[in-house]
Amino acid sequence: MRSIFWTAVLVLGFAFPIQAQLEDKVADRLYESSKILDELVQAPDGGIPHDLLRRAQCVAVVPAVKNLAIGVGGKYGRGAVSCRRGDSNRSWGPPSMISLRGGRFGIQLGGSSTDVVMLFMTNDSMQHLLKDKVTLGADLGAAAGPIGRSAAADTNATMHAEILTYARSRGLFAGVSLNGAALQPDKDANKNLYSRAVEAKELLIEGKGVIPEPARKFVDTLTKVSSAK
């Protein structure tokens, strides 16, 4: 009995620090995502046009996408996505944590890590977020988004793309192509954030549930930047 007791103590002793580290990483990811979104939109000469944000159905942010150790041009990062609720205010619902893997950026901004922002412009693009894996450029049409306050948002590429993609590296912003990159739900991070297993549909399409405190700044920032003029 004593050996079973001490085994349980050791297991719990290791489990709690690991759980705390995961909680910190998810909270940090959400906080960094809110900062990146605010900075990208507020950039005086190279931000996302406000009218595109007002039209977007969902917005995803992946901080510090890094080069994979293996493979050429491979990328990997984790972030969050939030979609509009179906209410009259088109308010933003609770976020779902995501991962981005693979693909090649259309341009190289330099540096070992890149912050990525994706605008999902159509209802169909929202539905794709419910899948276990979606590949940009294959399952969904993705295009580099226009940059700048006065950028024309009615070009053919912008009007027909289901996703508009942006990136920042070393302080520089640009619209980039992420064709070949795969988006997947980060189920472990979602379970940690909501203290239970939760499906992406519940968060992104149905917009159910209270927004957790670690995600509040991300949703508040998204509300602010998408309502700015």
pLDDT digits (tens, 9 = 90+) for 162-213: 899 888 876 677 778 788 889 999 999 999 999 999 998 899 988 887 899 9
Contact 108, 132 (CB under 8 A): no
Q: How confident is the model at residue 91 (pLDDT cuts 50, 70, 90)?
A: very high
Start-to-end C-alpha separation, the chain: 67
Each residue's pLDDT tens digit, 109-131: 555 678 899 999 988 888 888 89
**Top-confidence range, 31-35, 49-53, 202-206:** 31-35
What predicted TM-score, i.e. pTM, was given to this entire model?
0.83
Q: Give percent helix, percent strand, percent coil of the chain, each to the nearest 5.
A: 40, 25, 40
CA distance 98 to 61: 9
Q: From 212, 201, 190, select the one nearest 78 (Cα to Cα).
A: 190
- Distance, CA of 171 to CA of 128 (rounded, Å): 31
What pLDDT sits at residue 167? 83
CA quadruple 222, 145, 42, 115: dihedral sign? positive
Q: What's the rounded Cα separation, in Å, for the pair 28 and 121?
A: 27
